Amino acid sequence: MSKKSIRDVEVSGKKVLVRCDFNVPLSKTDGSISDDKRIRESLPTIKHLLSGGARVILCSHMGRPKGEFNEKYTLKPVAERLSELLGFEVPLAPDVIGDKVTALIDALEPGRAVLLENVRFYKEEEKNDPAFAKKLADMAELYVNDAFGTAHRAHASTAGVASYLPAVCGFLIEKELSVIGGAISEPKRPFVAILGGAKVSDKIGVIDNLLNIADAVIIGGGMAYTFLKAQGLEIGTSLCDEERIDVAKKAIEKAKEKGVKFYMPIDVVCASEISADAEAKTFDADKIPADLMGLDIGEKTRKLYEDVIKDAKTVIWNGPMGVFEIDKFSGGTRAVANAMAASEGITIIGGGDSASAAGKLGLADKMTHISTGGGATLEYLEGIELPGIAALNDK
């Protein structure tokens, strides 16, 4: 079912509470914002509301202040950066709720914005306390959620508040829902899912759900070795999740039952340790030496995976194929990213490290969509209903 967005509502003159994801990384030395991408990504939604004559009340969390005021987690740097980007002063409210905040909002002109302090300064936020959610709601006439990255959390500002106000999504969430939601509900086929990264435990739910939908599943990265071991292969000192070998076996069986093609590495780049100085050598997947670890997919595997990606109409990729942070183990990740970039089908990246790998390669613009959520994207791909989205009004 599709959700209402800011396109579907009248905002002129209204006080609009907008939940953003301003959880930006700060420099450890001087506390300045080291990457303002999340702030810039929220601008289309904010500008749409401002130019529509709304009185915009912005709110977000930052870090984990444990439910009390903590200067270290103030949103002051965010208010300053927002002011620069919007070209007028966005004042930071002295608190999240309370009389002083209400007064500031009452004085707000249409087409102007104010930023509330860090919502996690109240322990009621993460507890999704109804009274706190109502206090947030009472400040506004419309609620807009645009924080996809926290949509898997049922907190007061991400879900609870929607019980008391008309609730719609902003452009960021709207795009996540239409691109990822569209791809998994009515995929253009063949639909290929590529899963990599470090841990089987992080991704097994996603693999399980995608086996219901995809035509092919490709496995790489650190978790591939648990799958190789599940098939009785020697994996040397590679990463292995002993407790999930059975789960891996079941996934391989499920793929067979469902007629989903299941690709695992046929050769791997090995070394004695995760280090730029370690000597890298490629072995077939059934000949991994006992004293070495697999740190990337090999040339033959890359070729195989490229061919599968080339024929796909939809590709979803989550998790690097190897330890891409080190140049000599980055070839597999690069091959997958390049093949996706060259594809004319729908290409979606979910996952922080995969997105940063594509970014480093200068391929971000060549993808249909790079998801802004980490955990939220994974839960969405797992087929779990996200509370922050479920709470919004249906169309």
* Residues known to be catalytic: 38, 199, 352, 375
Please report, as residue ranges, which positions from 116 to 175 form the binding site for ligand ADP (by CB under 6 A).
Answer: none
What minimum distance in Å lies between the beta carbon of 353 and Mg ion? 4
Q: Per CB under 6 A, which region of 40-48, 322-330, 334-342, 386-394 contacts ligand ADP?
A: 322-330
Contact 253, 235 (CB under 8 A): no
CA 90-109-155 angle, to 5 degrees, is 60
- By a kind-dependent CB cut-off of 5 to 8 A, residue 36 interacts, out of Mg ion, ligand ADP, none, with none
Structure token digits, residue 169: 């999504």
User: Which residue lies nearer to Mg ion by CB, 345 or 352?
Assistant: 352
What minimum distance in Å lies between the beta carbon of 202 and ligand ADP? 5
What minimum distance in Å lies between the beta carbon of 141 and Mg ion? 38
215 binds Mg ion (CB under 5 A): no
Q: Per CB under 5 A, which region of 14-22, 306-314, 348-356, 358-366 contacts Mg ion?
A: 348-356
User: Which residue lies nearer to ligand ADP by CB, 128 or 318?
Assistant: 318
- By a kind-dependent CB cut-off of 5 to 8 A, residue 323 interacts, out of ligand ADP, Mg ion, none, with ligand ADP
The whole-angstrom separation of Cα 314 and Cα 118 is 38
Q: Per CB under 6 A, which region of 15-23, 304-312, 317-325, 365-373 contacts ligand ADP?
A: 317-325
Query: How many residues of this chain interact with ligand ADP, rule: CB under 6 A?
Result: 18
What minimum distance in Å lies between the beta carbon of 212 and ligand ADP? 20
The whole-angstrom separation of Cα 14 and Cα 11 is 5
353 binds ligand ADP (CB under 6 A): yes
Which one among 145, 150, 226, 318 touches ligand ADP, defined by CB under 6 A?
Answer: 318
Which one among 187, 197, 236, 265 touches ligand ADP, defined by CB under 6 A?
Answer: 197
Please report, as residue ranges, which positions from 228 to 267 form the binding site for ligand ADP (by CB under 6 A).
Answer: 239
Q: Omega into 190 within 30° of 0, i.e. cis?
A: yes
- By a kind-dependent CB cut-off of 5 to 8 A, residue 347 interacts, out of ligand ADP, Mg ion, none, with none
202 binds ligand ADP (CB under 6 A): yes
- By a kind-dependent CB cut-off of 5 to 8 A, residue 387 interacts, out of Mg ion, ligand ADP, none, with none
187 binds ligand ADP (CB under 6 A): no
CA dihedral 75→48→146→395, nearest 10 degrees, is 150
Q: Per CB under 6 A, which region of 15-23, 57-65, 349-357, 383-391 contacts ligand ADP?
A: 349-357
What is the 3 state secondary structure string of the chain? CCECEHHHCCCCCCEEEEECCCCCCECCCCCCECCCHHHHHHHHHHHHHHHCCCEEEEECCCCCCCCCCCHHHCCHHHHHHHHHHHCCCCCECCCCCCHHHHHHHHCCCCCCEEECCCHHHCHHHHHCCHHHHHHHHHCCCEEEECCHHHCCCCCCCCCHHHHCCCEEECHHHHHHHHHHHHHHHCCCCCEEEEECCCCHHHHHHHHHHHCCCCCEEEECCCCHHHHHHHCCCCCCCCCCCHHHHHHHHHHHHHHHHHCCEEECCCEEEEECCCCCCCCCEEEEHHHCCCCCEEEEECHHHHHHHHHHHHCCCEEEEECCCCCCCCHHHCHHHHHHHHHHHHCCCEEEECCHHHHHHHHHCCCHHHCCEECCCCHHHHHHHCCCCCHHHHCCCEC
> Looking at this protein, which amino acid is placed at residue 245?
I
- By a kind-dependent CB cut-off of 5 to 8 A, residue 294 interacts, out of ligand ADP, Mg ion, none, with ligand ADP
Which one among 36, 126, 267, 353 touches Mg ion, defined by CB under 5 A?
Answer: 353
331 binds ligand ADP (CB under 6 A): no
Please report, as residue ranges, which positions from 262 to 301 form the binding site for Mg ion (by CB under 5 A).
Answer: none
352 binds Mg ion (CB under 5 A): yes
298 binds ligand ADP (CB under 6 A): no
Catalog residues that contact Mg ion under the rule CB under 5 A.
Answer: 352-353
Catalog residues that contact ligand ADP under the rule CB under 6 A.
Answer: 197-198, 202, 221-222, 239, 294-295, 318-320, 322-323, 325, 351-354
